[in-house]
Amino acid sequence: MRYLFEEYAFDTGRREICRGADLVPVTPQVFDLLDYLIHNRERVVSKDDLINAIWNGRIVSDAALATRLNAARTALGDSGEEQRLIKTLPRKGFRFVGQVHETQQPAGATAAHTPVEPPKPALRLPDKPSIAVLPFQNMSGDPDQEYFADGIVEDIITGLSHIKWLFVIARNSTFIYKARAVDVKRVARELGVRYVLQGGVRNAGNRVRITSQLVDAETGVHLWAERYDRPLDDIFAVQDEITVSVVGAIEPSLRRAEIERVKRKRPDSLDAYDLVLQALPFAYTGESENIAMAIPLLEQALALDPGYAGAQAALAWCCHHRFRFNRGGLREGDRAAAVRHARAAIACGGDDATALALAGLVIAFDERDHATALNLFNRALSLSNSNVFAFSCSAIVLAWMGESDLAIERAQLALRLSPFDPMNFMPNNAVAIANFHAGRYEAAAAAARRAIEVNPRFSICHAHLAAALVRQGCCEEAKVEAKRVLECDPHFSTSGFFVSAGLAPAVFTPYAEALREAGLPK
């Protein structure tokens, strides 16, 4: 059995512990102690339990037990003060509180650090400093607090993305490493970055503890590490401090005045912030069932803080998707709501690149104000030239406007910034639309297939493939894709799709003709 947690792989068969590719030396007794704690991690283990299991019931002093526990914590980079992985519960016992994934060692494996999956191809380093922020570990032991740790990371990524000279990998690509033992060097190769930020969050009562460390993945050197133990009300200041410290470690000569530009307007209500963190995982999927779960949370957040740009933009995005799917007969009401919330996001989020990008997409499709939309995309990219939403949203809009070359350029930048993003169906769809308009039907079909791989439940991905296949002369295969469009969205029609995507008739009309030839209703 192999237990995977944080960067560690605990192999009971080979009796070895690896941190990434490095073997961690431990004595047999310490290994047995860790094995017992991890195996029984669902309960509190008493001192007598440990003595019976590790020392076979022999009389053991408290000092000897404490020595072994300290050695176990040291092997995992933990401490008695931090208790990130091994928690002491006074007068009760001990418990392993790390998030563990169990996996079987592959048959015939010959190395303790055999990867759980084959490594992904290495990406070339960009020509400027580059960083990936990995998911912070939820150290509270409460699964319901997982969203809070994730939200902290998303805010740090957003803060770093404001820095023009820094290439920042988007959240959705780094989060594929969540709850996995990771090798920092391997992660850096797969994401194409030089620096990696890791950490953990414990949220208890009205206090929060955040630990973080910055690693130069090429050398393995820890450039900076810090622990913050603060009232929960100081969470935004802590996020800014982490961002500033990372910038200072990467570019020591950067003037303090430049670093201050990283900071942005924060919501006035911590409760509103918490509600938005809960809503975003549902909102970003664009799927009607998840949208229905996100909207009430976002509306509650705005009731507490109407000036929260991130909540306004996310709600605009949700209303746009509900309008597009025409659920519940609220079509025009949803379009008006989408525009209203997009305009509110613009008014109160002039320094929030993601809010401006989402607002731009909604303004383009639901208000047909192309000039304002393009201006919003440019403003978002001037604020953060690593913002994947700005590249993806603008690529989709530009593709439907007929600006094929620029759409493809921005889509490719989005895919490079976030190579493993579950939202990569957006830039791939932009590439499909742009290539279809340019008459490059084989390239359009290839991009549509990539979009389907990322999100097979999104009807539009199948529509793009159907249109491209028709123009390639693959009519039978196109009809199969048309059926899949209707399986995903039984109400789909080309006229209905035009309402939400027909920005330029010269682009949409030949596309709609191909869809009708594939068998989709008018």
Q: What is the pLDDT of residue 255?
A: 35
Instruction: Provide the whole-model pTM.
Output: 0.64
Please provide the DSSP assignment of 394-410 as one string: HHHHHHHHT-HHHHHHH
440/26: higher pLDDT: 440
What is the H or E stretch that residue 515 is in?
A: helix 505-518
Residue 389's identity, in one-letter code, is: F
- Cβ(360)–Cβ(376) under 8 Å? yes
Q: What pLDDT does residue 263 have?
A: 47
Res. 330: pLDDT tops 80:
no
- Bridge-based pairing state of the strands 195-204 and 167-168: unpaired
pLDDT at position 100: 86
Burial class of 344 by CB neighbour count within 10 A (0 to 12, 13 to 18, 19+) = buried
Kindly give, in sequence order, each residue whose CB lies less than 8 Å from that of residue 117, ignoring residues fewer than 6 positions away: none
**Residue 77: per-residue pLDDT:** 84
What is the rounded average pLDDT for all residues in the chain? Answer: 84
Largest CA distance in the chain: 85
3-state secondary structure of 5: strand
Q: Which of 218-227, 258-267, 454-463 has the lowest mean pLDDT?
A: 258-267
**Quick one: average pLDDT of 30-38?**
91
Tell me the pLDDT band of 265, cut-offs 50, 70 and 90. Answer: low
pLDDT of residue 261: 41
Average pLDDT of the residues in 175-184: 78
What are the DSSP calls for 441-487, one per residue?
HHHHHHHHHHHHHH-TT-HHHHHHHHHHHHHTT-HHHHHHHHHHHHH
223 compared with 514, residue with greater pLDDT: 514
pLDDT digits (tens, 9 = 90+) for 70-94: 888 888 988 887 888 999 988 889 9
CA–CA dist 166, 159 (Å, integer): 11
Q: Would you say residue 127 has pLDDT above 80?
A: no
Examine the pLDDT at 186 and tell me if it is beyond 90. Answer: no
Of residues 409 and 212, which shows the higher confidence score? 409
What are the tens digits of pLDDT across the range 282-294? 887 777 788 889 9
Lowest mean per-residue pLDDT among 136-145, 418-427, 442-451? 136-145
Could you please report the per-residue DSSP string of 63-118? HHHHHHHHHHHHHTT--TTT-SSEEEETTTEEEE-S--EEEPPPTT---TT--SSP
Q: Which of 154, 130, 333, 131 is nearest to 235 (CA)?
A: 154
Question: d(Cα 165, Cα 180) in Å, to the nearest integer?
Answer: 30
Band of the pLDDT at 21, cuts 50, 70, 90?
Answer: low
Q: What is the mean pLDDT of residues 398-426?
A: 91
Task: Output DSSP code: residue 163.
Answer: -
Kindly indicate the confidence band of residue 112, based on its pLDDT and cuts at 50, 70 and 90.
very low
Burial class (CB in 10 A: 0-12, 13-18, 19+), 498: middle
Residue whose C-alpha is closest to residue 460's, from 508, 412, 505: 508
Q: Is the pLDDT of residue 118 over 60?
A: no
pLDDT digits (tens, 9 = 90+) for 366-381: 999 999 999 999 999 9
- Give all domains of the chain, ordered by start, each with its CATH number: 2-103 (1.10.10.10), 130-262 (3.40.50.10610), 269-385 (1.25.40.10), 399-522 (1.25.40.10)
